[in-house]
Chains A and B, each alone.
Chain A
């Protein structure tokens, strides 16, 4: 078992998704049980499904100085950075610590591959159209390189791309760099945008639901894809005594299958126990778990069983994919933000879409919105290739 870590302050965080721009929009939608999914109006070719699309990205070009980075994913990243005063807090941290003493660790599954897809639709003599002949936006590092450039960061800069656990694992990488003293703070997060690769890719695996996704419902038919941007600023606890805390994290591998979870949730359980051990917590101390809950047959069955065998009924659990859709590489940061909102505002989001609960779901499931004190909240994120992560957050020590 790993040693407990010294908690870090989450001194700022923000999220932008189909539910809106910034934390207030998200909190309102979660409290009103109002989902953000709509019939697919995104893909070039028709595909009958529902998506979590962010409004307004088309009307929000990057500032002229950043135009070399222009593409939907970087636009969404830039929109996301403007919310909740996050950019100003990041700039204040740069002024406080120095640009070389802040790490940038971002997660993404497909980065700006939408721009690559667009180029292929408009090839000239086998070459990208001139305005897309920008190598940097066709690389999976596009997002991180853009944010580093936009903020003038000069420290370590890393993209984590482990499919749907990407922007959960960034917290782990950042904590290690701070613990070793290589940096004083870290800007973490993730951005993924809707694109043909994921819509038709998940469709090819028969994992896309033709209706709104219904996590943990007995009649669930697969996932709804979404897009989102989220960011958090991590610092040592003394820098922000009142801020919520990153208490721990866990990472583990299924060693089972590329696109199907381990049937007993072995990697997911190892990641969860790793997170509890680093946080120095017993399972019974956990008030809320934001579940991975994609609404795929297999994920929800395995995850429901995991929750049932580890947690008492006093631990509340729900998936929020019914609100945002599955935002893939951004899901980790989106759901970390939901766990932090739960801590700060004292509520448990209801599991939207679970109208007829699957019989594997135990008494831990919160089917409706609940007002209650949340002191400790976890967030699960599991990805293709059997890549599992779990984050543990808590209120600032009284």
Chain B
């Protein structure tokens, strides 16, 4: 079984990558300077930006980049937000507080702890009443979320914003997460080709054992620092025109073989 999906916008942020143009720079051998310390998340109003946790800033930054590239209106896009861990610094705070002074739990940090906090902040900031979702699949979050977003785009014939991101682990959860730095990326996916399309992908559902990925030219350390980056960077390399195909896990035994059909 395969799905054919058209990519209209791409966003990416990590401590080494300010955006998709920076990733192209790395692939071309001209790495740009590192971005600002925190994702700028300019889509958020200033007061929300001050209150929002890092996981939200990361997701909104890459979502904003992808939507801007697509030229679409954010409010019209259904959206799927993926994160393997949620915001581990909030989880660390909550569990630490619950262990000692549970009645002092911060209400703001509690409502920011829900897995759909990035989707909530995004839909509020953009006035989006379209369906929004928040999903996870642990190490397979990128593939599982991409399948969910592509299925939504094709089944309902509507453009979909797919965002995924994870911030670094914290406290006792840091070694368990294997995630030592932030990474996020986002894609605007459409069911039909148009003048907005920047690439067409075929996603084939295969047994995980049958997948293969061409070697990426990006630093291996980035993937080692964040499981999500490990899954997504080969796809970004394909979208940058460097590779034709990549593969990623979508669930325990399920893989996605991703093939770029053409590029604008």
Contact A156:B103 (CB < 8 A) given known A123-B172, A176-B152, A255-B129: no
The number of residues on chain B lying at the interface, defined by a beta carbon within 8 Å of a beta carbon of chain A, is 68
Q: Closest approach, in angstroms, between the C-beta of A192 and any C-beta of chain B?
A: 12
Q: What chain A residues lie within 8 Å of B91 (beta carbons)?
A: 113, 116
Say if the beta carbon of A182 comes within 8 Å of chain B: yes
Query: Which residues 94-125 in B have Cβ within 8 Å of A in the complex?
Result: 94-96, 98-99, 102-103, 105-107, 110-117, 119-121, 123-124
In the assembled complex, the Cα of A161 lies from the Cα of B173 at a distance in Å of 20
The answer to whether the Cβ of B221 comes within 8 Å of any Cβ in the partner chain is no
- Residues of A with C-beta under 8 A to B1: 181-182
| Interface flag for A180 (CB, 8 Å) | yes
In the bound complex, how far is the Cα of B140 from the Cα of A255, in angstroms?
A: 29
Contacts A116-B91, A162-B133 given; does A180 touch B3 at CB 8 Å? yes
B13 interface hit (Cβ, 8 Å): no
Cβ A159 vs Cβ B98 within 8 A: no
Q: What separation, in Å, do the CA atoms of A126 and B172 have in the docked complex?
A: 6
Q: Which residues of B contact A267 (CB under 8 A)?
A: 129
Within 8 Å by CB of B135, from A119, A159, A387, lies A159
Among A155, A161, A173, A383, the residue within 8 A (CB) of B148 is A173
Residues of chain B with a CB closer than 8 A to A398's CB: none
Measured between alpha carbons, how far is A258 from B138 in the docked complex, in Å?
A: 25
Q: Mark A247-261, 1 if CB is under 8 A from B, else 0.
A: 000011111111100
Interchain CB contact under 8 A, A128 and B172: yes
> Is A24 an interface position by the 8 A CB rule?
no
Which segment, of B34-42, B62-70, B234-242, B246-254, faces chain A?
Answer: B246-254
The answer on a CB contact under 8 Å between B120 and A384 is yes
Indicate if the CB atoms of A160 and B107 lie closer than 8 Å: no
In the complex the two chains form, is A140's CB within 8 Å of B123's CB?
Answer: no
B129 touches A140 (CB 8 A): no
Chain B residues in 8 Å Cβ range of A259: 107, 111
Q: Which residues of B contact A197 (CB under 8 A)?
A: 94-95, 98, 110, 113
Q: Is B32 an interface residue (CB 8 A)?
A: no
Q: Please tell me the number of chain A residues within 8 Å of chain B, measured between CB atoms.
A: 77
User: A141 CB to closest chain B CB, in angstroms?
Assistant: 4
For the complex, is B151 an interface residue (Cβ under 8 Å from A)? yes
Query: Which listed residue (A119, A138, A148, A258) contacts B124, Cβ 8 A?
Result: A258
User: Are B156 and A176 closer than 8 Å at their CB atoms?
Assistant: yes
B176 on interface, CB distance cutoff 8 Å? yes
Residues of B within 8 A of A179 (CB): 155
Tell me, yes or no, whether A391 is within 8 Å of chain B by CB.
no
A117 engages B98 (CB within 8 Å): yes
Decide if B130 touches A126 in the complex (CB within 8 Å): no
The answer to whether the Cβ of A135 comes within 8 Å of any Cβ in the partner chain is yes
CB-based contact A205/B110 at 8 Å? yes
Q: Are A135 and B177 in contact (CB under 8 A)?
A: yes
A37-52, CB < 8 A from B: 43-45, 47
CA separation between A266 and B99, bound complex, in Å? 39
Which A residues are within 8 Å of any B CB, using their own CB?
2, 43-45, 47, 99-100, 104, 109, 113, 116-117, 119-121, 123, 126-128, 133, 135-136, 138-141, 144-145, 148-149, 153-163, 169, 172-173, 175-177, 179-182, 196-197, 200-206, 251-259, 266-267, 270, 383-387
- Could you name 8 residue pairs across A and B whose Cβ atoms are closer than 8 Å? A45-B102, A47-B103, A138-B177, A158-B147, A177-B151, A205-B107, A254-B124, A385-B120
Given A120-B98, A254-B129, A387-B133, 17 more contacts at CB 8 Å? A2-B156, A99-B253, A121-B99, A123-B99, A140-B84, A140-B136, A149-B252, A154-B252, A157-B144, A159-B135, A163-B114, A197-B94, A201-B110, A203-B103, A256-B124, A383-B116, A385-B117
